[in-house]
């Protein structure tokens, strides 16, 4: 059965209006009527899954250095909101467990992107999904995505019946189609700014659902939808919800 996805998924929660990958971003997305959100997961030095995007802490926190070198206790000392705006100061990086509690409370579907630090592709998937499997039981509202085939292999081993998504970069690797078949993915997630209609046609022939990242302009969304794209990751989901097309 294909995964029933909404047309619009809040990117990193709702990154246009709140600090990315935070509980504040999740609540903001839910408040504007978003049905699904996208979040990235990494693991700390002491193997705790946290919601975070980058290899290093510098861009979105008042800390510095690699995430992989920090324990959860050290991570929790950091502010990950003030960089975005003073009204978000003192926000902490959430754990995956804390995040799932909020997702369930707000009745949100989840695209969980496994974003491993280098060399931790398998470990990140295993740690995150072992935890997820004990809490999350709605397989129709969960997509496990990654650009790392090792992470998706681990996901398939841990929970074969969960839907998986392969994230492709702007330059498709030569073996991308074979990889998608081998990993038995449900979706192909593509770069909205570089994808070509001819590539969309090939993915459609494979009968895979297509998600495009990151789309914030209604005109771009309309064009991609006309080519056959099924859904969009957006920093400003309300803009697309209000102005694009038939959403449901």
Residue 169: pLDDT above 80?
yes
* Residue 246 CB neighbours (<10 A): 6
CATH class for the region spanning 8-55+95-243: alpha beta
Its pTM stands at: 0.96
Q: What is the pLDDT of residues 31-41, one digit of tens each?
A: 999 999 999 99
213 and 190 in contact (C-beta within 8 Å)? yes
Query: Confidence band (pLDDT; 50, 70, 90) for 241?
Result: confident
Checking if the pLDDT of 248 tops 60, the result is no
C-alpha to C-alpha distance for 185 and 182, rounded to whole angstroms: 8
122-136: pLDDT as tens digits = 999 999 999 999 999
Residue 245 pLDDT exceeds 80: no
- Domain boundary assignment for the chain: 8-55+95-243
The pLDDT value recorded for residue 244 is: 61
């Amino acid at each position: 059965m294909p995964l029933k996805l909404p047309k619009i998924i809040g990117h990193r929660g709702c990154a246009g209006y709140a600090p990315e990958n935070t509980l504040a971003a999740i609540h903001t997305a839910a408040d504007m009527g978003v049905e699904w959100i996208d979040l990235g997961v990494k693991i700390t030095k002491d193997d705790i899954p946290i919601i975070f995007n980058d290899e290093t802490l510098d861009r979105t926190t008042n800390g510095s250095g690699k995430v992989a070198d920090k324990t959860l206790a050290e991570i929790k000392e950091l502010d990950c909101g003030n960089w975005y705006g003073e009204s978000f100061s003192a926000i902490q990086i959430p754990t995956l467990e804390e995040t799932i509690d909020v997702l369930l409370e707000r009745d949100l579907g989840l695209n969980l992107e496994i974003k491993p630090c280098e060399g931790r592709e398998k470990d990140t998937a295993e740690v995150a999904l072992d935890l997820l499997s004990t809490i999350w039981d709605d397989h129709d509202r969960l997509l496990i995505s990654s650009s790392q085939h090792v992470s998706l292999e681990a996901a398939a081993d841990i929970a074969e019946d969960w839907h998986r998504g392969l994230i492709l970069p702007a330059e498709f690797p030569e073996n991308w189609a074979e990889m998608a078949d081998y990993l038995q993915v449900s979706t192909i997630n593509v770069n909205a700014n570089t994808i070509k209609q001819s590539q969309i046609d090939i993915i459609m022939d494979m009968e895979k659902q297509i998600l495009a990242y990151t789309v914030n302009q209604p005109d771009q969304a309309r064009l991609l939808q006309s080519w056959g794209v099924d859904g969009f990751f957006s920093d400003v989901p309300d803009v697309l919800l209000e102005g694009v097309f038939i959403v449901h």
